[in-house]
Amino acid sequence: MSTSYQEFSPSPALQSFVECYWLHDFKTEGRLESPIQRCMPFGALELILHLDDNHAHVLFNDSWQELPQAFFVGLYRDTVQWKAVGTSRKFGIRLKPESLLQLFNVPVASLFNQFTDLETFLGKETNRLTERVYGLPDIQSVIEVAESFLLAQFKNLKGERNYLYEATRLIRQAKGNVSIEALSEHLFVSKRQLERSFKDNFGTTPKLYQRIIRFRNAYESFQQTATTPNWLDVSYNLGYSDQAHFIRDFKEFSNDVPTLVYHDSDQFFRRPPQQRMRLRA
């Protein structure tokens, strides 16, 4: 039994929309199951495709459910538990939340803390993507198909300024350490208008998105440290008011205190220790 996870950088044309592509590869005998994995909320959207016949299962409403061949995941605030069943490969396209509006003209509010079959959400044209990547033996070919699919959506792009897109980018640039009041003032929109736009398009508030991004940066800040971090330093560096506030927020999004998450390398779906791999020219 073995498992591996890799991330790959998008081509320059898609870097404004795609955080990364990723591949999770689980190899085993028969229908043995992987250890239960926990995927934490990172403030991104996910388009996920099974590349083979065996599908992963997710814990939903206290029962294990088999995931569709291709599915779309909205913004999450909760940690999700899942497991691979039998030898299987999952390919993911991790999108910045504003990208769905830009590339597909589709709000994702209805999928807050939810997932759905890809065809149901984005239409039958996605079936060609699902069919073309199925069974491909190498990740390079899978990514080329995915990039072709995404580049075809450029026809939907509009050139005008959009304060909602700018708000999500600014929150990420500040690593979540920005107040919504300051953000509204910078973008010349009222706080109420910004909150309404977030709710209508993403299904949540800018405040919650800001907190998720700050949590994500806290999580990623200690992924490559050799020893247990000083949590007081982490909380200070990420702009939390105190260590207790940091630990309370971290536990809300991960369901565990930071020390347990840091030491549990088997259960948490982690970023790889090496840098993201790049596509061949």
Domains 2-156 and 163-263 share a fold: no
Domain definitions of the chain by residue range: 2-156, 163-263
The pair of structure tokens assigned to 24 is 């999770």
> Is the predicted pLDDT of residue 165 greater than 90, yes or no?
yes
Q: Which of 3.40.50.720, 3.30.1370.160, 1.10.10.60, 3.20.20.300 would CATH assign to domain 163-263?
A: 1.10.10.60
Which residues share a beta bridge with 25?
A: 4, 89
pLDDT at 97: 96
> Is the predicted pLDDT of residue 235 greater than 80, yes or no?
yes
The pair of structure tokens assigned to 83 is 């497991």
Separation of alpha carbons 194 and 198, rounded Å: 6
CB 119 within 8 A of CB 126: yes
Burial class (CB in 10 A: 0-12, 13-18, 19+), 173: exposed
Cβ neighbours, 10 Å, residue 179:
12
User: Full-prediction pTM beyond 0.85?
Assistant: yes
Q: What is the pLDDT of residues 240-250, one digit of tens each?
A: 989 999 999 99
> Is the predicted pLDDT of residue 274 greater than 80, yes or no?
no
Calculated CA dihedral for residues 168, 169, 172, 176, nearest 10 degrees: -50
Q: Which of 1.20.1740.10, 1.10.8.60, 3.20.20.70, 2.60.120.10 would CATH assign to domain 2-156?
A: 2.60.120.10
The pair of structure tokens assigned to 213 is 């991004």
Residue entry with tokens 């044209």? 125
